[in-house]
Structure 1
Amino acid sequence: MQLGEFEERLSYLVDLGRLVGRIRVDHAPRGLGKTSLLRQYQRRARERGAQTIWVTAGEEGVGLIAQIAAEIERESATWRSGTRTALSRHLESLTLRAGIPQIVGVEAKLKPDKAATAGGYRELEAVLRLAASSDDHTGLVILIDEIQAADPAGLLTLAYAWQHLQSEGTDVPAAVFTAGLPNAPEKISSAVTFSERFAYRPLLLLGREAEEVAISAPARHLGVVWEDDALAAAFELAAGYPYAVQLIADATWTAAGHPDPGGRITLDHVTVGRHAMKADLDALFRAPWGNATAGERELMTAMASLGDEPVQRAEVARVLGVSSESLSMPRARLIDKGLIQSGSRGKIEFTIPGFAAFIRDLDG
């Protein structure tokens, strides 16, 4: 669905030379392929002749606008002289208005309280207009990973600039596509009061058909067949989590001895492969568990003791013998870290399948 919507917007940008009016935000827990999806967007945009600007938000001491400006500066080094000269003037003005001391690659720094208030959004708008309209490409596509980590002033500046383009620059062939954790909409709305200008789209766990394609199609391409019971076992183990799908497919292929054409993947191979998969998942879980505070671990341990499904916040508080309100701070920190997320009707849940079982194994 995401790629189909992206292609539609890319055609609007490239074929009609129009602005994609809303900033896209694909959000999901870690391991669901957000960065890979954003790289797909980048590859397809480049294939259509668009100039892409890639930024990973949240670099220490570097604001979002500084990162965007630095990447445009770097990418434009080979553009035609006319556009390049005008763009350089506006980039220099942006550094002054938005509080960026200088543009030197990604080392440029943004004073986080000055971007929008100092008129930096108008200078950013001018930079985007020039960068998008250069004859060197068919348009401009900005891609921002880890959008939830962007500084509030940078988000506000980008939003103001895009709002002005929506009203005054619909003929500017530009778009912004971003990816972030489930709390990205909350982070953006806390910085930008008119966050309806952003289009939020959740990435979901893989359905059975997508899992089957991911697991068995590469094998079929090599003349190898997965037996039905082996596939069913792999589906159950992966639970639709893309990283787990990758792990069980790879571990099972190795357990089968990297079969030649005509080979078959059996349930026994999956049974052996699950041990390697568990070791890799445990390694994935160990780092965030080790970096959690004592209070965060207590909350997660209580959640895990109640099973793998979403649990009522009040029930977690009962297990811990505390008030539900006292969970607010560790809960908020775990949401910011992408380890849990809020569900419906006061429920909370782990974002990564298997994490609850990992915690129970630690207690065991």
Structure 2
Amino acid sequence: MDSIRNPFAPGAGTPPPELAGRDELRESLRIALERARIGRPAKSAMLVGLRGVGKTVLLDRVRADAEAAGIQTVRIEAREGQSLPALLAPQLRQALLRLSHLQAAKDYAVRGLRALAGFAGKLKVTYNDIEVGFDYEPEPGLADNGDLEHDLQALFEQVGRAAKAAKTALGIFIDELQYVEEVQLAALITAMHRTEQQQLPVVLVGAGLPQLRGRMGNAKSYAERLFNFPEIGPLPMPAAELAICRPLQAEGVAIQPDAMQALIQVTEGYAYFLQQWGYFTWEVAASSPITASDVQRASPEAVAALDESFFRVRFDRSTPKEKRYLRAMAELGPGPHRSGDIAACYGSKVTELAPTRSSLIAKGMIWSPNHGDTAFTVPMFDQFMKRIVPGQDWRQA
């Protein structure tokens, strides 16, 4: 079939042609943002799930929905080694500048920009990666104590007051939130708690790996009461079918029932994998309808593409010892696995492998569903590890 007309979109954060199975969550987040705008209590949310379930796509779609409704938004992607103040400061500056153009909010927004100048000026000593332009001189005593938890509360308060004066809300969207250090995460939670107490229209929508919930609970014990934590998982069968059928129907292409079943089975309903297999199945299919043999012929190419991009980029970030740990996990199957079983397979003691396990958790490669358990954050990573490190020579590495 015509490659130019291929409707599927495999890619990191690339919007799929059909965002299936997420309508209920989108609606609940829309309601939260609208409640905040009119001054009603609204819970912020943390979208948690494995890699490849579509968290980033969903985060961006909710943000687009909010902007279309006239709500102010900022979008941040957390990264290893970058501080939360460095991520927030430029984006909050842009939000405050936009609000300063509205007459009703101008005075509050200008005071917010003064707070931002004090915030960045003082914290630059601690977090020397902060780079933000100053539009106004700082106001002495406003968000300039040099203490992140205290100053972030003061800054969020000023931003919230500006949004309230403009009769809007501010949606703060942060992806990969698990990379934010725990002390900084605690400051963010405290700042959101303060805005909620003062009924200011600020809503935080974050996304991260499954360990995010535990990290937030460790940072502040009340985090689980302050936020909703919807789990984003593989699509149920009806939604997975829609994710494939709708794009094909838009191109006038049909798919046989056994081919659909084969696609869902091989992808396990994960949103990213559905796009990947859909793309390569289209490429190998000669004509409509798509058959199960088309799916079978597309699978080696889909797997090769996943190995090269989705899986390999994570594997290459690991040290030799970490790779061996991951291979030992894979030897045991998809997981989760007990730490003792992994250590036995690795040929070492649990205590000796604890630093390796902690390092892999920090890198977002694995997580702990329960105390003493370890699981991959990437679906089907056990199969990849067996392909990339075949045989048993890894045991003597």
TM-score range, shorter chain: 0.7 to 0.9
Listed as ranges, the matches of 1:328-347 within 5 Å are 328-344=354-370, 346-347=372-373
1:194 Cα deviation from its structure 2 partner: 3.1
User: In the alignment, does 2:291 pair up with 1:291?
Assistant: no
Picking from 27, 32, 57, the partner of 2:78 is: 57
User: In the alignment, does 2:110 pair up with 1:88?
Assistant: yes
Matches of 1:335 and 1:236, distance apart in 2: 29
User: In the alignment, does 2:34 pair up with 1:11?
Assistant: yes
1:53 Cα deviation from its structure 2 partner: 1.3
TM-score between both structures, scaled by the size of structure 2: 0.79
**2:223 match:** 195
**1:215 match:** 244
**1:243 match:** 272
Superposed CA RMSD:
2.8
User: In the alignment, does 2:50 pair up with 1:29?
Assistant: yes
1:85 Cα deviation from its structure 2 partner: 4.1
Is the Cα contact below 8 Å between 1:29 and 1:352 reproduced in 2? yes
SS where residue 226 of structure 1 aligns? coil
SS where residue 18 of structure 1 aligns? coil
Q: 1:347 to 1:122 in 2, by over 3 A?
A: closer
Q: 1:311 to 1:93 in 2, by over 3 A?
A: closer
User: In the alignment, does 2:338 pair up with 1:312?
Assistant: yes
1:234 Cα deviation from its structure 2 partner: 0.9
Amino acid at match of 2:219: A
Identity %: 27
1:235 Cα deviation from its structure 2 partner: 1.2
Amino acid at match of 1:269: D
Q: How many pairs are equivalent?
A: 350
Q: 1:154 to 1:348 in 2, by over 3 A?
A: closer
Is the Cα contact below 8 Å between 2:51 and 2:379 reproduced in 1? no
Structure 1: gaps spanning 5 or more residues: none
1:38 Cα deviation from its structure 2 partner: 0.7
Matches of 1:111 and 1:243, distance apart in 2: 44
Matches of 1:161 and 1:312, distance apart in 2: 37
Q: 1:293 to 1:152 in 2, by over 3 A?
A: same
**2:377 match:** 351
Q: 1:46 to 1:286 in 2, by over 3 A?
A: same
**1:42 match:** 63
1:227 Cα deviation from its structure 2 partner: 0.7
SS where residue 175 of structure 1 aligns? strand
Structure 2: gaps spanning 5 or more residues: 1-23, 134-142, 392-397
Matches of 1:124 and 1:310, distance apart in 2: 41
Q: 1:202 to 1:55 in 2, by over 3 A?
A: same
Q: 1:161 to 1:279 in 2, by over 3 A?
A: same
1:81 Cα deviation from its structure 2 partner: 4.7
